[in-house]
Amino acid sequence: MSLSREPYLSQNSNTKEAQPLLELRQLSKHFPIRGGVLQRQVGAIKAVNQVNLSVFPGETVTLVGRSGAGKSILARTVVQLIQPTSGAVLFNGEDMAKMGRSALRLARQQLQMTLQDPYTALNPKMMVSEILAEPLKIHKLGNGRSQKERIAELLQLVGLNPYFAGRYPYEFSGGQRQRLNLARVLATQPKLLIVDDPLQALDTAVQPQIIELLAALKQTLDLTLLLLVSNLAHVRAISDRIGVLHLGEIVELGETEAVYERPLHPHTQFIHSQTRPLATINDRIQPIQLTGTAPDPANLPSGCHFRTQCPYATDICRDELPRLRDLGNADQPHLVSCHHAERFQE
């Protein structure tokens, strides 16, 4: 596979000539397992493992993965809340790990991340006005009067009444808290938002509203989005590309319509069958049931890490680790790490 066809490069006509706004190069985060009297390292949990991805200005890239896939660890590693074990995170072409304190502060002003749970993301002892003013004060944006005006503007942006600035988080519903969560990260006028599973803790009736809000914010503020979700419900219209995470690795990545209509990895097909009504699944997507047991992240099986649950696994899946390879065309790369992916192309 040539470098020009790496899984992380968009072939979107609006972005393919541009420099990536965010680039992950072989990014890994491993947590050591220690044992014995001397507490020596005896293993590691590979929460994020050699992830490569480029996100271009104006794009929405969605990474989908079930619980334990490594979504939240990936997000925290990207914004340098936790340090990667290896690899690099480049923002605007600069390695964030090599930035000085002032440069890193500026990068974080432009690269913001929402926390997954809207109920724990907001300090219950602070009023909304204080919560939204905090990033403005940290980054020294404006004075008291301009900050107050900015808070009112932020509340309006996310569809809330500016009057709510005097309330506390417990007075809001889950959907409203998620809107406040978004308002806080928008305070610094970022270029790129990493949105960590914004639908996970919300009622199904509220989930489409949050996706619609993200789409509107992207359009209004000219944002770039890296969206991390647990399933494929509601994200089709907003996504330009979709990647599938399994045990910290990208196992499939392609243009949104290709991943929806022609998924090439059994894990992607399983996610489809869990989130799409059978009547909407076309003939190319066979609803599948997982077999066996989920692998232990601290003791991954040989070969393909999905093979212990995959109904299509054969001897080669046990013996060889599949690598990402391109089964798309010249205009639309479609990458997948599955030995038997060709069977799903027909």
- Tens-place pLDDT, residues 219-237: 999 999 999 999 888 899 9
Q: Which amino acid is at 169?
A: P
Q: What's the Cα-to-Cα distance from 228 to each of 3, 64, 159, 322, rounded to whole Å?
A: 25, 6, 22, 24
Using alpha carbons, list the distances in angstroms from residue 273 to 132, 207, 335: 40, 19, 20
Give residue 284's pLDDT: 56
> Whose CA is closest to 153, among 202, 186, 107?
186
CB 53 within 8 A of CB 227: no
Give which of 335, 338, 337 is closest to 8, Cα–Cα. 335
pLDDT confidence of residue 226: 97
* Domain spanning 3-31+43-344: CATH superfamily: P-loop containing nucleotide triphosphate hydrolases (3.40.50.300)
Sequence-distant (≥ 6) Cβ neighbours of residue 26 within 8 angstroms:
50, 51, 52, 86, 87, 88
Q: pLDDT (tens digit, 9 = 90+) per residue, 2-14? A: 333 454 444 443 4
Alpha-carbon distance of 127 to 137, in angstroms, equals 15
Amino acid at 194: I
Contact 197, 72 (CB under 8 A): yes
Helix then strand then coil, in percent of the chain rounded to 5, is: 35, 25, 45
Residue 162: which of 172, 149, 173 has the closest Cα?
149
What does the pLDDT profile of the chain (346 residues) look like in tens digits? 333 345 444 444 344 457 999 999 999 999 999 988 888 888 899 999 999 999 999 999 999 999 889 999 999 999 999 999 999 999 999 999 999 999 999 999 999 999 888 888 899 999 999 999 999 999 999 888 899 999 999 999 999 999 999 999 999 999 999 999 999 999 999 999 999 999 888 888 899 999 999 999 999 999 999 999 998 888 999 999 999 999 999 999 999 999 998 999 999 999 988 776 544 445 556 667 788 888 888 899 999 999 999 999 999 999 999 999 999 887 889 999 999 999 887 6
CB 197, CB 245: distance < 8 Å: no
Strands 334-336 and 325-326: what pairing?
antiparallel
Per DSSP (E only), the strands in 15-159 are 22-35, 40-55, 60-64, 86-91, 94-95, 111-114
DSSP codes of every residue in 16-49: TTSPPSEEEEEEEEEEEEEETTTTEEEEEEEEEE
- The whole-number pLDDT of residue 282 equals 55
* β partners of residue 112: 193
Handedness of CA 71, 308, 297, 321 (dihedral sign): negative
